[in-house]
Amino acid sequence: MSQMPQLPGVAACPTCEEPLESGDNFCGVCGADLASAAPDAAVAADRPAPPVNGAARAGRQEPEDYPLPAPAPAPPAAASALAGPDVPAASDVPGACAWDVPAAPDVPDVPDVPDVRDVSTADPRSAAAAGEQPAPDTPAGTPGTPGTPGIGTNTDASSGRRLCAACREGTIDQDGYCDSCGHAQPRERDHMERELAGVAAASDRGLRHHRNEDAFAVSAAALPDGSPAVLAVVCDGVSSATRPDDASAAAARAAGQSLLAALPRGAHPQTAMNEAIVAAAEAVNSLAAEAGPTGRHDEAHQRQQNAPACTIVSAVVTSGILTVGWIGDSRAYWVPDDRSASPARLTEDDSWAAQMVAAGLMSEAEAYADERAHAITGWLGADAYELEPHTASYKPDQPGVVVVCTDGLWNYAESAQEMARALPQDAHARPMHSARVLVGHALEGGGHDNVTVAVLPFPAEPGGAGSG
């Protein structure tokens, strides 16, 4: 998520007098919009910055703490912009779908992921919140899973309306507040979990934000040869833009649907990934068109309107290859099951700090210590400078897991080694438990941002197609 605008001079909520922290845009108790209680913040400084001197991504050097294998070359004519050339069509087999599929494409060889070292596990959300031992896994949507639909939703017998989670006496109005004590109620997106065969994801509002502006989609499909493919999409709304929660949800949904349609038809994973990111960008762009009463779509107008925006990272895991795609500063990591082998970061941020390092203007330590470090230089949205999807494929020589996440997690485990230490040793066998542990790691570290993570064991194993 890009840096939040600061609201000077507001120490407590003007509505309920709840003490505020620096950088809060909404009251965490009553939900009041703090922007109206203080002078306008300087949004321009918070908005993503344009590329420095037009520096090309191909010339960037990877940070020293995560040696990356060279990715496989992308398919020849991958699209690089919404208005750019068409992506080569995948094998078009009438009637093919996620459960009914024809014969498999050739997948090019890609380099091995390197090996090295020992790590330990981290405490999950329960330990972060109360210092207790981790609870056993519970399926999403069952008692004990915080914030999921149906949990703690006691209803008033006479009105049929939900009872307040705070006072247990008042009922909840359509605006989400108690009609007795006035407390804002937990939203469905405050904490979300989803698990399918071969993938699990969790998302949490965090401890400081008024709402969860992250979103994810997880799916499983069958390739034309009948082998499995598992995918996860994670999106992070840009807080300084309008409707960031809608932007992330629209992008995750569109990218997931695009991948689920392309992979069973025989599209190469990198081509399918590129198409999915373009589809996600179009979905986010459509939100700006909905918001504009004049119907204008020129660049100046979209910038003035501060169009909805988000970042995206996605991973596709098959029986022999893993593919990642991204725009922005959400990340993907590789962590081998053999913890004596080295983990690796598979993505490179579209951020101010990464560009400073790539241009040789600052060391990595200097760049990430700067207050502008997390200003993003690439995002999905009608006011994006350009659409440049990044994709890469890898062929690990051993089992492991892929972790895809927003900066709400990696801010507390930035290097590949730190992420490996936070990930449980049994992540391959228990991806849902591991996703919860990683969310808990971020909350224990301060939970200053929304936190979303998906865990995908590699290689993908047969388990059935579906989506979530």
Q: Could you tell me the two tokens for 248?
A: 């992330």
User: How far apart are alpha carbons 318 and 364 in whole angstroms?
Assistant: 34
User: How far apart are alpha carbons 271 and 278 in whole angstroms?
Assistant: 11
User: How far apart are alpha carbons 331 and 253 in whole angstroms?
Assistant: 18
| pLDDT at residue 160 in the model | 76
Average pLDDT over the chain, rounded to an integer: 75
User: How far apart are alpha carbons 357 and 61 in whole angstroms?
Assistant: 8
Mean pLDDT of the region 388-415? 96
Is residue 29 very low, low, confident or very high in pLDDT (cuts 50, 70, 90)?
A: low
Greatest alpha-carbon span in the chain: 68
Specify the range with the lowest mean pLDDT, choosing from 24-28, 246-250, 367-371, 375-379: 24-28
CB 455 within 8 A of CB 194: no
Instruction: Encode pLDDT of 442-467 as tens digits.
Output: 999 999 999 999 999 999 988 655 55
Nearest Cα to 455, choosing from 231, 246, 275, 294? 231
Mean pLDDT of the region 380-389? 92
Specify the range with the lowest mean pLDDT, choosing from 91-100, 145-154, 287-296, 393-402: 91-100
Mean pLDDT of the region 279-307? 71
Rg (CA), the chain: 22
Higher-confidence residue of 391 and 367: namely 391
Q: Could you tell me the two tokens for 106?
A: 């050739």
CB 431 within 8 A of CB 458: no
User: How far apart are alpha carbons 279 and 95 in whole angstroms?
Assistant: 21
| pLDDT at residue 365 in the model | 86
Mean pLDDT of the region 21-49? 54
User: How far apart are alpha carbons 262 and 257 in whole angstroms?
Assistant: 9
Residue 145 has pLDDT above 80, yes or no: no
Domains of the chain: 1-46 (no CATH), 49-147+187-467 (3.60.40.10), 153-185 (no CATH)
CB atoms within 10 A of CB 80: 17
Residue 232 has pLDDT above 50, yes or no: yes
Q: What is the 3-state secondary structure (H, E, C) of the chain?
A: CCCCCCCCCCCECCCCCCECCCCCCECCCCCCEHHHHCCCCCHHHHCCCCCHHHCCHHHCCCCCCCCCCCCCCCCCCCCCCCCCCCCCCCCCCCCCCCCCCCCCCCCCCCCCCCCCCCCCCCCCHHHHHHCCCCCCCCCCCCCCCCCCCCCCCCECCCCCCEECCCCCCCEECCCCEECCCCCECCCHHHEEEEEECCEEEEEECCCCCCCCCEEEEEEEEECCCCCEEEEEEEEEECCCCCCHHHHHHHHHHHHHHHHHHHHHHCCCHHHHHHHHHHHHHHHHHHHHHHHCCCCCCCHHHHHHHCCCEEEEEEEEECCCCEEEEEECCCEEEEEECCCCCCCEECCCCCEHHHHHHHCCCCCHHHHHHCCCCCCECCCEECCCCCCCCEEEEECCCCCEEEEEECHHHHCCCCCHHHHHHHCCCCCCCCHHHHHHHHHHHHHHCCCCCCEEEEEEEECCCCCCCEEC
User: How far apart are alpha carbons 10 and 19 in whole angstroms?
Assistant: 9
Mean pLDDT of the region 148-173? 66
User: How far apart are alpha carbons 422 and 55 in whole angstroms?
Assistant: 34
| pLDDT at residue 112 in the model | 46
| pLDDT at residue 26 in the model | 66
Nearest Cα to 58, choosing from 40, 70, 50? 70
| pLDDT at residue 215 in the model | 98
Task: Note if the pTM is more than 0.75.
Answer: no
| pLDDT at residue 462 in the model | 81
Buried b (16+ CB within 10 A) or exposed e, 273-283: bbbbbbbbbbb
CA distances from 65 to 111, 121, 345, 365 (A): 19, 20, 9, 11
Residue 284 has pLDDT above 60, yes or no: yes
Report residue 176 CA to chain centroid gap: 26
